[in-house]
Structure 1
């Protein structure tokens, strides 16, 4: 396996974030934990597609979506490639990641999406935004951790609590969809979604050759 080359390393209020290149692909590491890379992207695209498909058919055209966070840009780029999304808002708390997309190597993934007039980048903590913003969306596509059971920082754990899921529901329009990416299935999180009042709770998998599949957990805010 090709050894990675560190392109940038930043210390911020939430710890260290690193951008590395391994052969032709880029990797993001946060506090020593591998987050994602540009080698595949199927699960990030599923996150967006599954959320849109779960919306009522009459709500899919012109739907609004909040993507959290920016990551390597696959979810944003995929949403921007679909004309049915009417508004695409991305919440990202790390200055470095935003810089890598606007002026750095990751602009190759997200450049056209960032230039799309439907796209808005919010430099903000996702958890704080969900709890304090008055804005509502048709879909929330959340990918800020390796899953509900494996968070990047301790303060992210509150997102998957009863209080955090209530904040998600409050940011959704009636019939809106919450989609949460995870590196592995979580039956406990499915139960948490149901206990928080979400309906239609299910988990979609990304098939892999070996190992545990990436998944997207889905729940719908009742009308």
Structure 2
């Protein structure tokens, strides 16, 4: 999700709000929009390859299951939602986002050009909730769960997200997956330890797909299939 920026351009804060999990801000840096949470860079509008791979890899791992329902963890700048909604292969598309500010930026704010068509799609539903609580409490189930709420299992945005990548958290993710459903997790770097945690939590066909980058460590998507 990182990008090279023109260091001569000063970022401008468009909106900043205090929410239940701290401060969240939307900045403009040249032509790009950036989401910052508690001073930590989350994502920007520079690319979207990672988010598209997250969604496509999950769908591909479902092996042609008809009209699968997907739960996307994190609205972000809307790349994952927009890409899912552009694919007629998906059924219901639910997005869990805990920050009201981010939802507002998409519905009638600066991020709306990226997500307007997706939000108008009758398959789309935005759920304002904390993902950790949602996967533990909801009675809904899905064929795929795509997580993009942190910079990876080892680099969480807030302390409360740590448990999502533990055995207990992955058990909660498995609970909302239908038999043979797919879990896809975005990460800013590969994590062999997380792959082992997925296997220990009962997931099968665990693998990691890399997203090519110009330099440095590649972004990845961790993929795993839940119990049949």
Shorter-chain TM-score above 0.5: yes
Residues 67-146 of structure 1 mapped to structure 2, 5 A cutoff: 67-146=72-151
Report how many residues are paired. 221
Residues 1-223 of structure 1 mapped to structure 2, 5 A cutoff: 1=6, 2-57=9-64, 59=65, 61-223=66-228
Provide the rounded CA distance (Å) in 2 between the counterparts of 1:209 and 1:25: 19
Q: Which ranges of 4 or more aligned residues in structure 1 deviate by more than 6 Å?
A: none
Provide the rounded CA distance (Å) in 1 between the counterparts of 2:178 and 2:129: 21
1:13 positional shift: 1.0
Provide the rounded CA distance (Å) in 1 between the counterparts of 2:10 and 2:221: 30
Unaligned runs of 5+ in 2: 1-5
Provide the rounded CA distance (Å) in 1 between the counterparts of 2:207 and 2:225: 10
1:83 positional shift: 0.2
TM-score (norm 1): 0.98
TM-score (norm 2): 0.96
Q: Secondary structure at the match of 2:216?
A: coil
Q: Deviations over 1:11-32 (max 9, x none)?
A: 1110110100111110000011
- State whether residues 43 and 206 of structure 1, in contact with CA within 8 Å, keep that contact through their aligned partners in structure 2: yes
